[in-house]
Amino acid sequence: MFFRRFIAIGTLSLLATYASFAQDAKPAAPVEKPSVVERPSVAPARPKASPSPTEPPITFNSVHVDGPYIALTFDDGPSAALTPKLLDLLAARHLKATFFVVGQNAADHPEILKRAVREGHEIANHSWSHPNLGKMSDEAVRRELQKTDDAISAAIGKRPTLMRPPYGSITAHQKKWIHEEFGYRIIIWDVDPLDWKRPGPSVVTARILKETNPGSIILAHDIHPPTIEAMPATFDQLMKKGFKSVTVTELLGMATPVPPKPTPTPSPSAPRAIAVPSATPIASPVASATATPGS
């Protein structure tokens, strides 16, 4: 009997202890896995676009050439009275030139254009009526060029490939669409004797000789009598200097790359003297021996 009571009391005690422990114990917090910080994927560096090839130039004032070649050009003709005389002077010296013709004059004198081509010269477009193209609409410029193109084609059987704007006046926008639409290269100049002001034949000759270099494009006009008078001496002096005149298209075909300017190398200089600070005098130690008098 006693033993059964002992077992019952022990069982009740154990149950009470377990209940107390269950109330006091707190559930352990779940262990969180460390969050994974994902590094943003680094996109591979995009290769730099290689620069587009340099577009060929369409406007020329002069040409870099290896040799004494130049281009004589004459504007505003043909003149019934003067251009044949000029052709005679060129033929006598076996020189070639390029004629930038005004369309109205070309239509009136197709036989002069035909002769020029037969003798190896070049015919190019200089507009129909010599206006300032830079101040005109695209459509008006187009009419000027097209009418002249047609007149040249009718006279010599082929289209021109060059044009020169009157007064050299043309916008960057016009250059672009004229080249795209007509295929023209635009030719300006680097030698201008201002012969249209009629300063006199000797002045025209002197200015051309002074300014001409290999690759030069020389501007003159075959509608002014003093210009034609200046040409014999001009041609002879240019030839004496060793220059050879070709058409503009031939000159463009001779173009060579402009060599890079050499990098100046510093001249060797004498080594700079290094300043040495003067030494602080150090007192010599006192001699232990007594100096001999008179020494």
**Residues with catalytic annotation?**
75, 221
Distance between CA atoms of 67 and 54, rounded to whole angstroms? Answer: 25
Which residues are within 8 A (CB) of 148 and not within 5 positions of it... i.e. 6 or more apart?
101, 102, 103, 106, 125, 126, 127, 128
Distance between CA atoms of 76 and 278, rounded to whole angstroms? Answer: 83
Distance between CA atoms of 219 and 221, rounded to whole angstroms? Answer: 7
Distance between CA atoms of 180 and 8, rounded to whole angstroms? Answer: 114
Retrieve residue 115's tokens.
């002769």
Contact present, 89 and 232 (Cβ < 8 Å): yes
Which residues are within 8 A (CB) of 244 and not within 5 positions of it... i.e. 6 or more apart?
67, 68, 69, 70
What is the three-class DSSP state of 107? helix
